[in-house]
Amino acid sequence: MKTLDELLQEGVNGRRVLVRADLNVPLDGKNITDDGRIRAVAPTVKALAEAGARVVVCSHLGRPKGAPDPAFSLAPVAKRLGEVLGREVAFATDTVGTDAETKAVAQGDGDVLLLENLRFNKGETSKDDTERAEFAGQLAAFGDLYVDDAFGAVHRKHASVYDVAKLLPHYAGWLIAKEVEVLSKLTGKPEQPYVVILGGAKVSDKLAVIDNLLDKVDTLIVGGGMMFTFLAAQGHEVGSSLLEKDQVEVCKSYLARAAELGVELLLPVDTVTAAEFAADAEPLTVSVDAIPAERMGLDIGPASAKLFAERIAGAETVFWNGPMGVFEFPDYAAGTKTVAQALVDSDAFSVVGGGDSAAAVRTLGLPEDGFGHISTGGGASLEYLEGKTLPGLDALEK
């Protein structure tokens, strides 16, 4: 895989560089609520611009259905990117249409242009190879070279991530290089004890990663909504908590395999419950043996949080993906906060795997530099740890 460092050595002055970024940030209307992904890719864009490249940045935002939809416009992102870069960022109101073409042609050396949302075009995510290739061809017309730095999207076989690399000389940006360097440590032989903490709503999203990591870890901690399917597998009643009935047997098999391997699979001992899914629902902490039938668990309880924090304190390597509870509700945020704080306090090499857990870290006001690495990829970091071939990385290797 050729990297940005090599490209900068070759020199980019006056050359047109198409950069795929993952600027898929959370928005509240037109306000960006977490600009982590913008800041993460900025060094790559800045280095190219400072070296005199004519930079055309492209990204998706959300999941529009292959046609323009103002709710998913990248316009607010262009503005923020400009602030972060400390230089003007032009914005094209289409992706490969006349506005994009006109603005690209007008670019001078060192100028940055952001194209409108890739997913306003059917070809971007099409399952049809020809349709995707056609759109990739239109995108490739914007660059003499292609730099992929959209780590959060490398698990997608999309035109801008996969097909375009076949058409232009291609390089990995600094963010992708860094993410791969860090995550490859977690799939190799990380320093032990190695503790993995998984949370989030659905156990079905995490099965493959559990499967791939179970024989590599010393302790696998399970919290969040997915814990109830594991608790049910242990024979507990879980009230009206999230439960994936069709996954109970799989969870049983993981509990059995962990026991065989001598791996500790650690589940919560208590949970903070609510009568309904609402921020103002009265919290009640109960033991996992005594979850009332009409209540749902929305967080791990304090005894569990303490237990989890102790395991984290004793670790040399920690990977965390998925909140421990509904951290958006202040009464149900303590578990996530305790776990996150334990990572900050530990001397372990700690990696936070993207999406919700990265947002939780920032929402809860924890210092980003307290973690070894905060991945910008949710699905991408999980699929990497599942040991899958990721189309975007595969394309850069070829």
For ligand 3PG, what does the binding mask look like between residues 33 and 72, x meaning CB under 6 A?
A: ------------------------------x---------
Q: Residue 221: beta bridge partners?
A: 197, 266
Phi, psi angles (nearest 5°) of residue 315: -90, 160
Sheet holding 296-300, edge to edge: 284-287, 270-274, 296-300
On whether the CB atoms of residues 60 and 118 are closer than 8 A, the answer is: yes
User: Minimal CB distance to ligand 3PG: which residue?
Assistant: 24
| Residue 379 falls in which region: left (phi positive, over 0), alpha (psi -120 to 50) or beta | alpha
Is residue 63 marked as binding? yes
By CB under 6 A, tell whether 189 contacts ligand 3PG.
Answer: no
Distance CA 313, CA 193 (A): 10
Residue closest to 382 by CA, chosen among 312, 318, 321: 321
**Token pair in block for residue 128:** 């049809």
Which residue in the list 97, 110, 370, 379 is annotated as catalytic? 379
Q: Which stretch binds ligand 3PG (CB under 6 A): 50-58, 152-160, 241-249, 295-303?
A: 152-160
53 versus 343: smaller Cβ distance to Mg ion: 343
Among 36, 123, 152, 173, binds ligand 3PG (CB under 6 A): 152
Site for Mg ion in 313-372 (CB under 5 A): 370
Which residue in the list 46, 122, 166, 202 is annotated as catalytic? 202
255 versus 344: smaller Cβ distance to Mg ion: 344
The DSSP element (H or E) to which 195 belongs, if any, is: strand 194-198
Least distance (Å) between residue 41 CB and ligand 3PG: 12
By CB under 6 A, tell whether 299 contacts ligand 3PG.
Answer: no
Q: Residue 146: beta bridge partners?
A: 18, 170
Q: Which stretch binds ligand 3PG (CB under 6 A): 149-157, 204-212, 268-276, 319-327?
A: 149-157
Q: Is 202 a catalytic residue?
A: yes
72 versus 320: smaller Cβ distance to Mg ion: 320
| Residue 62 falls in which region: left (phi positive, over 0), alpha (psi -120 to 50) or beta | left
- Non-local (6+) Cβ contacts of 115 within 8 A are 56, 57, 58, 59, 74, 92, 94, 95, 96, 100, 142
For ligand 3PG, what does the binding mask look like between residues 1 and 40, x meaning CB under 6 A?
A: ---------------------x-x----------------
| Residue 31 falls in which region: left (phi positive, over 0), alpha (psi -120 to 50) or beta | beta
Among 131, 138, 379, 394, binds ligand 3PG (CB under 6 A): 379
The DSSP element (H or E) to which 112 belongs, if any, is: strand 112-114
Q: Is 37 a catalytic residue?
A: yes
30 versus 63: smaller Cβ distance to ligand 3PG: 63
Is residue 280 marked as binding? no
Residue with tokens 């919700």: 356
Is residue 297 marked as binding? yes
Site for ligand 3PG in 340-359 (CB under 6 A): 355
By CB under 6 A, tell whether 323 contacts ligand 3PG.
Answer: no
68 versus 379: smaller Cβ distance to ligand 3PG: 379
Least distance (Å) between residue 350 CB and Mg ion: 5
Residue closest to 373 by CA, chosen among 40, 81, 21: 40
Length of the chain: 398
By CB under 6 A, tell whether 241 contacts ligand 3PG.
Answer: no
Phi, psi angles (nearest 5°) of residue 274: -140, 155
Q: Which residues have a catalytic role annotated?
A: 37, 202, 355, 379
- Interacting residues with Mg ion (CB under 5 A): 370
